[in-house]
A and B are shown apart, each in its own frame.
Chain A
Amino acid sequence: MSAARTLRALPTLLRIGVAETVAYRAEFLVWILTTTLPLVMLGLWTSVASEAPFRGYTSAAFVAYYLSNLIVRNLTGSWVAWQISEEIRLGAMSMRLLRPLHPYVAFAASHLAAIPFRSVVVLPIAIVLLVSSGASALTTEPLQLGLLVPSRALAWIITCNRLFMIGAVAFFGTKTMALMNLYFALFSLLSGYLLPIPLLPRAIGWFAEWLPFRFMLSAPIELMTRPLDGAQVAAIMLGQIGWAAATLALALVVWNRGIKKFEAVGG
């Protein structure tokens, strides 16, 4: 499983990923359409804030926040956990384990290949954001703008790691679906997906500041929509890098332990 061999396999893996995405495009589109929650919250909060700003958030700030939310969510979305638990259930995992390549790389490559397709979906949202009232609430700081892409990439990596780990938990039991639901509930709450983190009740907000969820979604949105000083920007980026490393380590540990329990059902 040398690094050189993995690197050589990467272009092929990416090509397969693109082919998969194209083959299941209808399904893919439906998946993307299910991320309606930010739009609903957008409709709600803009009509609330149209009378008077809500705790410092104007209507334009909400537009900027939730459209950025939609963009980041669409670019970082991943279904690795579902894929892994399906493959374990159906026995297709055995095939994957035979390949001389770590499954993490294979899954990550296949999801990376979906990014261009996702970008096509995100583009109209971005255009709407730039011409809407939300544009006035976007940042113009060159530093923050420059960090948008790395920050989103890190958010994507953390998301991928978390879901890879949850998928690997499927080796230990059959109740992965329940775990994923619980995970999604926590994610919605603590990542800023449902509400901007500053609007959360204080006790929950404190947890949200430090747990990895914020760095999976809220971090790039904050860079896009809030005036931040140098220390805050550094805290966001370091937090993302730290959590990316920590979640990767955790995911690989869970995977390595789980793989010993693998019984190759149907394989």
Chain B
Amino acid sequence: MMRYLRLALVQLRISAAAGMAYRGDFLLEGLMALAWMAMTLLPLFVLYQGRESVAGWDAPSAMIVIGYFMAVRAVLEGVVSPSFVDLVERIRSGAFDYVLLKPVDAQAIVSASRFEPWKIFDLLGALVLVVYAFVKKGHAPEIQHVGLGLVLFVAGVLAMYSLWILCAAASFWVVRLDNLTYLLGAIFDVARWPVHVFRGLWRFVFTFVIPVAVMTTFPAMALLGRLDAQTALGTIGGALGLLLVSRLVWRFAIRNYTSASS
């Protein structure tokens, strides 16, 4: 375990060094983070100018969902997508063979092979947004709700990570799939809205088929103290189940890996 932690730290250090090499990007990335935040909030702003509440969600509560959305997206774009791009490139060029030769689990190397350190801005922005939403609401969240909110945040990140591993496994068969990250990103975009604003089939799909509800809506409800124990357990169980499935699929995919190098 320690070894994996050390490995992740080394890879983080390398990425941070690479990030520092382009200091000029600092400003650009900061501006981008702000622009995206404005973009994310604008439809919310428009919507709540015309309505007091939508499907039981008032503006500050919906803002908390967006806070979770931004936080999960920061992890997605900060760790998951860069590593994914790296993996696809390695599979295409055959350099993935060397990853398999290393005396650690390939999934561990692949999952944290590259970081975008600047995405920490997005994470901070998300935090500011959630705090602002609670100021608007006029009361602080209770401590046990914060605890559950954090646990479910981890569950949400795990669920997203598992989906990504499934896509990564697919790239063993269909090599040129770099734009799968865009697809993943596009689907994940749904998660900025509380799942309840969607109806019928849409809500079913976003809860069970592509579990974006698990990533943002349920954690936000936990933080608001609205989530019942059953859904909380279901969310955690679902995330762990997805993780297990993705691990099994990954192992199966590795066994079928035909190298491109030799």
Asked whether any CB of chain B lies closer than 8 Å to the CB of A188, the reply is yes
Asked whether any CB of chain A lies closer than 8 Å to the CB of B18, the reply is no
Known contacts A33-B183, A34-B182, A35-B186; A26 and B174 CB within 8 A of each other: yes
A195 touches B183 (CB 8 A): no
Task: Kindly identify, within residues 1 to 56 of chain A, every residue whose CB is under 8 Å from any CB belonging to chain B.
Answer: 24, 26-27, 30-31, 33-37, 40-41, 43-44, 47-48, 50, 54-55
Asked whether any CB of chain B lies closer than 8 Å to the CB of A123, the reply is no
Interface of B is mostly: helix
The bracket for how many chain A residues form the interface is 20 to 34
Q: Which one of A37, A48, A201, A204 lies within 8 Å of B197 (CB-CB)?
A: A48
Q: Which one of B32, B174, B176, B189 lies within 8 Å of A178 (CB-CB)?
A: B32
Instruction: Mark contacts of B179-198 with chain A using CB atoms, 8 A cut-off: 1 yes-contact digit, 0 otherwise.
Output: 11011011101100100011
B187 touches A36 (CB 8 A): yes
Contacts of B42 in A (CB 8 A): 189, 194-195, 200-201, 204
Contacts of B177 in A (CB 8 A): 26-27, 30
**Complex Cα distance A35/B183, Å?**
8
**Complex Cα distance A50/B199, Å?**
11
Asked whether any CB of chain A lies closer than 8 Å to the CB of B28, the reply is yes
Task: Kindly identify, within residues 146 to 184 of chain B, every residue whose CB is under 8 Å from any CB belonging to chain A.
Answer: 174, 176-177, 179-180, 182-183
Chain A nearest CB from B28 CB (Å) reads 6
Asked whether any CB of chain A lies closer than 8 Å to the CB of B101, the reply is no
The bracket for how many chain B residues form the interface is 20 to 34
Asked whether any CB of chain B lies closer than 8 Å to the CB of A182, the reply is yes
Asked whether any CB of chain A lies closer than 8 Å to the CB of B50, the reply is yes
A48 touches B176 (CB 8 A): no
Known contacts A34-B179, A195-B42; A185 and B189 CB within 8 A of each other: no
**Complex Cα distance A178/B51, Å?**
35
Chain B nearest CB from A132 CB (Å) reads 14
Chain A nearest CB from B185 CB (Å) reads 8
Interface centre among B42, B180, B182, B199 (most CB of A within 10 A): B42
Contacts of B182 in A (CB 8 A): 30-31, 34
**Complex Cα distance A182/B25, Å?**
13
Q: Which one of B46, B187, B190 lies within 8 Å of A200 (CB-CB)?
A: B46
Known contacts A27-B179, A44-B193, A175-B25; A36 and B186 CB within 8 A of each other: yes
B35 touches A185 (CB 8 A): yes
Q: Which one of B45, B180, B190 lies within 8 Å of A40 (CB-CB)?
A: B190
Known contacts A27-B179, A178-B25; A195 and B46 CB within 8 A of each other: yes
A43 touches B179 (CB 8 A): no
Contacts of B51 in A (CB 8 A): 48, 54
Asked whether any CB of chain A lies closer than 8 Å to the CB of B36, the reply is yes
B46 touches A201 (CB 8 A): yes
Task: Kindly identify, within residues 175 to 208 of chain A, every residue whose CB is under 8 Å from any CB belonging to chain B.
Answer: 175, 178, 181-182, 185, 188-189, 194-195, 199-201, 204
Asked whether any CB of chain A lies closer than 8 Å to the CB of B103, the reply is no
Contacts of B202 in A (CB 8 A): 43
Name the CB-closest residue of B to A184.
B39
Contacts of B35 in A (CB 8 A): 182, 185
**Complex Cα distance A24/B176, Å?**
9
A37 touches B186 (CB 8 A): yes
**Complex Cα distance A47/B180, Å?**
29
A44 touches B198 (CB 8 A): yes
Asked whether any CB of chain A lies closer than 8 Å to the CB of B54, the reply is yes
- What are 20 A-B contacts with C-beta separation under 8 Å? A26-B174, A26-B176, A27-B179, A30-B182, A31-B179, A31-B182, A34-B183, A34-B185, A35-B186, A40-B189, A40-B190, A44-B47, A54-B51, A175-B28, A178-B32, A185-B32, A194-B42, A195-B43, A200-B46, A201-B46
Q: Which 6 A-B pairs have the closest CB atoms?
A: A34-B186, A43-B202, A36-B186, A34-B182, A47-B199, A43-B198
Given A27-B177, A36-B187, A185-B39, 7 more pairs with CB closer than 8 A: A34-B185, A36-B186, A40-B193, A50-B199, A194-B43, A195-B43, A204-B42
